[in-house]
């Protein structure tokens, strides 16, 4: 079983892309649940999570993950 071009692209992005004085994809995705909870609750994003905001401005893959998580949380909230 080999890796296709898309899988390799994702692996490289997650391991190598770290903006200057920012966070990489792994750290962003590690904190994205906390970020989504703040957004869903309408709360201000604390300074500790501001790097997630910055990272998602430059990383469409992480922004897409955030949007999918937020949609799932909203759907769960509406089903209760």
- Report yes or no: 51 and 66 within 8 Å, Cβ to Cβ: no
Q: CA dihedral defined by 42, 46, 52, 56, rounded to 10 degrees?
A: 40
The pLDDT value recorded for residue 34 is: 95
Per residue in 5-60, pLDDT (tens digit) is: 776 676 666 555 555 568 999 999 999 999 999 999 999 999 889 999 999 999 99
Residue 47, CA distances (Å) to 27, 44, 50, 76 in order: 15, 9, 5, 27
- Report yes or no: 59 and 12 within 8 Å, Cβ to Cβ: no
Matching residue, tokens 């799932």: 72
Split at pLDDT 50, 70, 90, the class of 72 is very high
Rounded distance between C-alpha atoms, residue 74 and residue 15, angstroms = 30
């Amino acid at each position: 079983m080999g890796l296709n071009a898309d899988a390799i692209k994702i692996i490289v992005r997650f391991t190598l892309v770290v903006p200057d004085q920012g966070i990489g994809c792994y750290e962003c995705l590690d904190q994205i649940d906390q970020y989504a909870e703040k957004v869903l609750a309408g709360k201000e994003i604390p300074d500790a999570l501001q790097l997630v905001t910055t990272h998602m401005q430059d990383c469409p893959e992480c922004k897409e993950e955030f949007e999918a998580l937020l949609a799932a949380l909203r759907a769960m909230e509406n089903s209760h």
